[in-house]
Structure 1
């Protein structure tokens, strides 16, 4: 049986999906390990922290299940019926929704931390407004994705809303990262002075905060750049990785506290020994 020529190149859809799914599965395995470590290392953490972590675990479990279902649809079911690639499988549409939930959950966590660290209302307000704008745009995009009739036409018609959501999300991430780093650096200069071991430890805390937050911010920014520069779906592979990488960055930030606490104890002990 000879199938009609597709209106688009299936490799543009299947290629990024396969590569992105494989990498996302690796990051999901890392996330599961980090969640286990979190509850093992910090059983007495505030309930709010645990709610955020549980929410991320639920979103990303659904994300992984939908990735498997999407790959099955695109590589097995579509083998004899390539015409179904003219629209996104149901699993992919749910992935879009769950990814937005993951990104919003992590952004909400960092926005709350920015508020508690800075005690300046305007900073978390700006960060929150950017995050809400990105989530609303993402939700509109997801609703329209469920009602799409043709993938190629849909990509062209919804390019603005997709790009707007990515830019808003990237702006929120970068603004929150800079806000947390600047506030922490200001407090460090107020309470810690001199080239002491405690100063070096404080610098490491700030550096680690920047590294974990900036990884997610730069990936989101890269997606926005690809949306603005490439006309096809090459950005979709990064989008599949984005949610898992953002979730991992938050868990890495939380779990790293264990090492910092150990280093702080060693610093205090060495200071006492030196004084003696």
Structure 2
């Protein structure tokens, strides 16, 4: 029972359960940050407020999908290791939901970088990475609807899964590094705000 047609159950269910706990904690942090934002910045433009609300609102169904995936894999199908070969609907929904959560956040910070940077090439590269991540993420979600066998899915799309993870990390690190650099440079010039 420890193996299910190429799957080690411990290597599948363990990370899912740890991931759900971490995701729940991070969701709690996001809710607190959203609450603090709305309390402190009452006069912000409604567009910025909507942009803050958008990811938080979408993270609720995303977290529910992740919890449903864990429940399905560890409780509903307990003792049926062969079911680990098939992606639950909630997994596919979570993959699809992560695209509209991440893209507006990347786009907002790229816009901030665009406003701070003298050079327009780096913001353009970051925006391109954000678009690539969005397209790949949606592709993975849509193909997950059609291809339900998780072993075949991983074998066929492993390059794109890796590309999504690498592109996301590269985009995040590039934006964060560039913003830190430009904000530090502006402070030295005398702009403190």
Give me the TM-score of the superposition, normalised by structure 2.
0.89
Other-structure match for 1:36: 35
Asked which structure has the greater RCO (Cα within 8 Å, sep 6+), the reply is: 1
Query: Secondary structure at 1:65's aligned position in 2?
Result: helix
**Is contact 2:87–2:148 with CA below 8 Å preserved after alignment?**
no
Q: CA deviation at 1:154?
A: 1.7
Other-structure match for 1:131: 130
Q: CA deviation at 1:119?
A: 5.0
Query: Secondary structure at 2:77's aligned position in 1?
Result: helix
In structure 2, what is the Cα distance between the partners aligned to 1:35 and 1:185? 26
**Is contact 2:136–2:164 with CA below 8 Å preserved after alignment?**
yes
Aligned positions of 1:77-156 closer than 5 A: 77-79=76-78, 81-156=80-155
Aligned positions of 1:121-200 closer than 5 A: 121-191=120-190
In structure 2, what is the Cα distance between the partners aligned to 1:33 and 1:126? 32
In structure 2, what is the Cα distance between the partners aligned to 1:165 and 1:24? 18
Per-residue CA deviations over 1:169-202 (Å, capped at 9, x if unaligned) read: 222112212221222222222226xxxxxxxxx5
Larger radius of gyration: 1
* Alignment of 1:47 onto 2:42: no
Q: CA deviation at 1:88?
A: 1.5
**Is contact 2:55–2:102 with CA below 8 Å preserved after alignment?**
no
In structure 2, what is the Cα distance between the partners aligned to 1:47 and 1:123? 28
Give me the TM-score of the superposition, normalised by structure 1.
0.64
In structure 2, what is the Cα distance between the partners aligned to 1:178 and 1:27? 22
Other-structure match for 2:70: 71
**Is contact 2:106–2:130 with CA below 8 Å preserved after alignment?**
yes
Query: Is there any run of 5+ residues in structure 2 with no aligned partner, and where?
Result: none
Q: CA deviation at 1:26?
A: 1.4
Per-residue CA deviations over 1:25-83 (Å, capped at 9, x if unaligned) read: 11111211221111111111122221211111121111111122112211221025443
Q: CA deviation at 1:143?
A: 1.5
**Is contact 2:20–2:66 with CA below 8 Å preserved after alignment?**
yes
In structure 2, what is the Cα distance between the partners aligned to 1:178 and 1:72? 38
In structure 1, what is the Cα distance between the partners aligned to 2:95 and 2:85? 17
The count of corresponding residues between Structure 1 and Structure 2 is: 191
In structure 2, what is the Cα distance between the partners aligned to 1:165 and 1:30? 24
**Is contact 2:107–2:127 with CA below 8 Å preserved after alignment?**
yes
Match of 1:6 among 4, 7, 14: 4
